[in-house]
Amino acid sequence: MVGIRGLTAVPNPSGNGQVLLFAALNSVRRINPADGYQETVELDMKFFLGTLWNTTIPYVLCAYNDFLAYTVPDTGEKVWLFGFESMYSPLEVQKNPQWRTFKIDFLGHYYAAEGRYFIRHATEKGIAFEVAEVADPGLPTLVAVRTIAVSPFPADQGRVLYFGGFDCNSQPSHNTGWIYRGALTGN
């Protein structure tokens, strides 16, 4: 089992100070030190992804490093980005052979081969999550977004993100790490 990942201080949704955001036990959680260390589950990732993709998700691992705070240039909205990997059951892969999968774990589950990440929105309406993907048909085994960084180059004006990743999941691998540059479009 995986312990705490991605421990990051974020603004308290109730507006008072900061709370600690982290991932553990297939969920995104926060702890409020100012409220007796009250713990709140913000997102059950297995349930969310299972509902989104209409399947059962046996396992999710996310926030390999931290939750990246990012201000969307066009709107000024502050979001938090974090990569993840997920698994599919053998039965679901048999029913959906079009899914891109990678290797089989010791329990017979397939890793999703997509480079996906979550976007956490924290607005006055509450906390919401969406899923986005780094896609490259030429490299069908991205597996996991492990890190995300805002471009440090002034010419990019905060409109470029770099994504890096792969997770070999204890399997021998060679030349599998990747980095992609993604640019926001529009005004």
Separation between Cα atoms, residue 103 and residue 129, nearest integer Å:
28
The confidence score (pLDDT) of residue 2 equals 59
The confidence score (pLDDT) of residue 101 equals 81
Cα angle 144, 110, 85 (rounded to 5 degrees) comes to 20
The confidence score (pLDDT) of residue 1 equals 43
Q: b/e for 99-126, b at 16 or more Cβ within 10 A? A: eebbeeeeeebbbbbbbbbbbbebeeee
The confidence score (pLDDT) of residue 90 equals 86
Q: What is the pLDDT along the chain (187 residues), one digit of tens a residue?
A: 458 999 999 999 988 899 999 999 899 999 999 999 999 999 999 999 999 999 989 889 898 888 999 999 989 999 999 999 998 888 888 888 888 887 666 677 788 888 899 999 998 889 999 999 998 877 767 888 999 999 999 999 999 999 998 877 777 777 778 889 999 876 5
Separation between Cα atoms, residue 187 and residue 5, nearest integer Å:
34
The confidence score (pLDDT) of residue 144 equals 87
The confidence score (pLDDT) of residue 72 equals 94
The pTM of the full predicted model, rounded to 2 decimals, is 0.90
DSSP-assigned letters across all residues of 144-159: -EEEEEE---GGGTT-
With residues binned 3-state (H G I as helix, E B as strand, rest as coil), the percentages for the chain, rounded to 5, are 10, 45, 40
- For 68, phi then psi, to 5°, come to -80, 120
What are the C-alpha distances in Å from 115 to residues 70, 127, 141, 147?
19, 23, 8, 11
User: What are the residue boundaries of the structural domains of the chain, listed by start?
Assistant: 44-183
> What residues contact 115, with CB distance under 8 A and at least 6 apart?
83, 133, 134, 135, 136, 142, 143, 144, 145, 163, 165, 178, 180
The confidence score (pLDDT) of residue 187 equals 54
The confidence score (pLDDT) of residue 105 equals 63
